[in-house]
Each structure stands twice: as C-alpha cells, then as structure tokens.
Chain A
Amino acid sequence: EPEVTQTPSHQVTQMGQEVILRCVPISNHLYFYWYRQILGQKVEFLVSFYNNEISEKSEIFDDQFSVERPDGSNFTLKIRSTKLEDSAMYFCASSVVVNEKLFFGSGTQLSVL
C-alpha cells in the first residue's frame, strides 16, 4: 500500500535554529498538509498546499513557518527560528480530494532545547 514517508523521525535542535522537516507524499495525491501534535494534546492543522501554493493555513502557521515543494516528490516544512513551544510531533499528510481520506506519515518528533 502506498504511504507517506517523513524524515527524520526525530530532530533535536537548539532554540533559534532553523529546521526543515521533509515529507514524500503519495505520488498521485494532489493535496498536501502539515499537522502537529503537542504531547498529550489534539492534532492541530498547520497548512494545506495545492497546485504549488498554500491553500489554507491556521493561526499557528505564522511567518516563522514556510512550506515548499522543491521538486515533484518532496514537500517540506521549514521553521526559521525555532522556539521551545515548537516542540511537537509534526505529521505530513496527503490526499486526492481536499480534506478527504488523508494519509498521514509516521511523523517527525521535533525537540527544541
């Protein structure tokens, strides 16, 4: 079965550093997403991406965040200057139809020290 893959599985960084989280969505999917889940809390929407541009974003997705699809297969989330409160599990997801039947990756656990 096709799957969304994310790398790295764990990322430790110092506060103020930039991080890039990487994802390879399912190849025939058109919509891509980033979600995050702080330990013990709900899954929260960050951003959705379609046709090489952001289609929707949440209040969490401020100027410190950016997304990019640098080639035909990768989808990245960049945090420019990490804060302690950015520590969370970050999930990438993709779908054929917007917000329907999302396939999630296994996540990247980001720890900001």
Chain B
Amino acid sequence: GESVGLHLPTLSVQEGDNSIINCAYSNSASDYFIWYKQESGKGPQFIIDIRSNMDKRQGQRVTVLLNKTVKHLSLQIAATQPGDSAVYFCAEILTNSGGYQKVTFGTGTKLQVIP
C-alpha cells in the first residue's frame, strides 16, 4: 500500500568535511531556536540553541547561524564524523504576550557521513 509521510532531504558528506544543515522557520516572531539530533531508534538530543537577539552561537564543533530577515537557521558541523550521522531538525519557540509558548519542530534533514 501507499505509505504516507515525509520524505526527508538527505545530505551526504565525506568524513572530515564540514556539514551545513538548513532550516526555514515559519514565524518571524519566534524568539528562541533549538537544533536537535535524532539517531535511529532514539529520542531527540539537544545540540545547541540560540535566541533571536543573536545571529551566531558556537559550541563544540557546531555553530548555529540565525538570519531573521529571511527566517533561516543553519547548523554547521565542523570535521564531520561517522557518529554525526542522524536526522537533524530545528525547533522554533514563539512566546506570546501572555507567556504562552508554542513549539514547532521542523521536518528534519538526514545527514549521512561517508567514511
């Protein structure tokens, strides 16, 4: 039968190269963003976050860039390793005036690291 679901975009990267994973978010008022990594059969794992008053934040081997003008978020992974193979997705958090937060996850990108 026909399967219904998302076809994840896939990024294939040679081991040791840098990876750039992109995310287009939906709401220009979103004020907080998170990148998660999800390995097969596991729950999402926090990687790095950024607030809307910043445009760049660096972690260990990872950098997140935020471009609010075009509602774009990217995750850069330096010196990609086989253990980085996973699905990566962004989450945007919108806080309204009443303090209510809406969390929306992106569809994800599958990163395949070629040894």
Chain A residues in contact with chain B, CB under 8 A?
4, 38-45, 56, 91, 93, 98-107
Contact = CB atoms under 8 A, between A and B. Distances in A.
Nearest to A92: B43
Contacts of A4: 43
Nearest to A42: B105
Nearest to B101: A99
Interface of B: 3-6, 32, 34, 41-46, 49, 89, 93, 100-101, 103, 105-108
B89 to A, nearest CB: 7
Contacts, number: 50
Nearest to B7: A40
Contact of A93 (B42, B43, B49): B43
B105 A56 contact: no
A41 B6 contact: yes
B58 to A, nearest CB: 16
Nearest to B42: A106
A99 B32 contact: yes
Nearest to A4: B43
Contacts of A101: 34, 46, 49
A46 B28 CA distance: 23
Contact of B107 (A42, A98, A106, A107): A42
User: Lowest 7 A-B CB distances belong to which pairs?
Assistant: A40-B5, A104-B43, A43-B105, A104-B44, A91-B43, A42-B105, A101-B46
Given A42-B107, A42-B108, A99-B93, A56 B100 contact: yes
